[in-house]
Amino acid sequence: MNRLSDLALFPLQTVLYPGGLLNLKVFEARYLDLVGRCLREQRTFGVVCLRQGQEVRRDTGTVRFESHGVLARLEEVDAEQAGILRVKCVGTQRFEVERSHQQSDGLWLADAHMLADETAVAPSEALIPTVRALANAISTLRGQGTEPFLSPYRFDDAGWVANRWCEILPISLTAKQKLLELDDPQMRLTLVDEYLRGKGVVV
């Protein structure tokens, strides 16, 4: 089993999925240092969803985050102004935190083990309408001037389709997290399909 020691964590009020885009505005010293280190050493960091606490460091308050997260790879880093970076990341591989601790500067570090990459499987015939609905959603978003996902689009991969739906569905962070933790991509897409049918998006 592939393990990582002292994996730097970025707890956020979001759920990152493999293949997903994440745009960050970085201004806290602990994360500016982290981005610089990742750039120099070509390293990734872990994104975990906050269960309690704030993204910005506070002197008081407990911080709790989910045990399952996704590695983020830096794609673009721009200096918006002194002390502020605009960062574009891509989610890569899921991991599970075994233990974590916080440094004096506030940065969280974890020992974690990597979860196996999902095997690409074609969506079942019953889920094809949900695949088509995603293609339509992408066309609509593009028409509004938004490029929501990284290409190439993998409509023949149930996990990819499910992950992209999970990113844009108006569901709770708790629900998004539970979907991320599912090891079966076909099941993840099935649950998305059930949600969309319940809302009348897919018939």
Write down the pLDDT at residue 57: 64
pTM of the predicted structure, to 2 decimals = 0.91
Write down the pLDDT at residue 81: 83
Low-confidence ranges of the chain (pLDDT < 50): none
**Is there a single domain that holds both residue 8 and residue 108?**
yes
Write down the pLDDT at residue 134: 97
Q: Any idea what the CATH number is for the domain that residue 189 is in? A: 1.10.4060.10
Write down the pLDDT at residue 62: 81
Give the model confidence (pLDDT) of 34-90 as tens digits: 999 999 999 999 999 998 876 566 555 688 999 999 999 999 999 878 889 999 999
Number of domains in the chain: 2
Query: In which domain, by residue range, is 65 found?
Result: 3-114
Query: Which residue shows structure tokens 């996704």?
Result: 70
Give the number of other Cβ atoms within 10 Å of residue 166's Cβ. 22
**Is there a single domain that holds both residue 139 and residue 55?**
no
User: Could you tell me if residue 91 is inside a domain?
Assistant: yes
Query: Which residue shows structure tokens 């009020």?
Result: 13
- The residue out of 65, 94, 114 marking a domain boundary is 114
Query: Which residue shows structure tokens 């956020």?
Result: 12
Write down the pLDDT at residue 158: 97
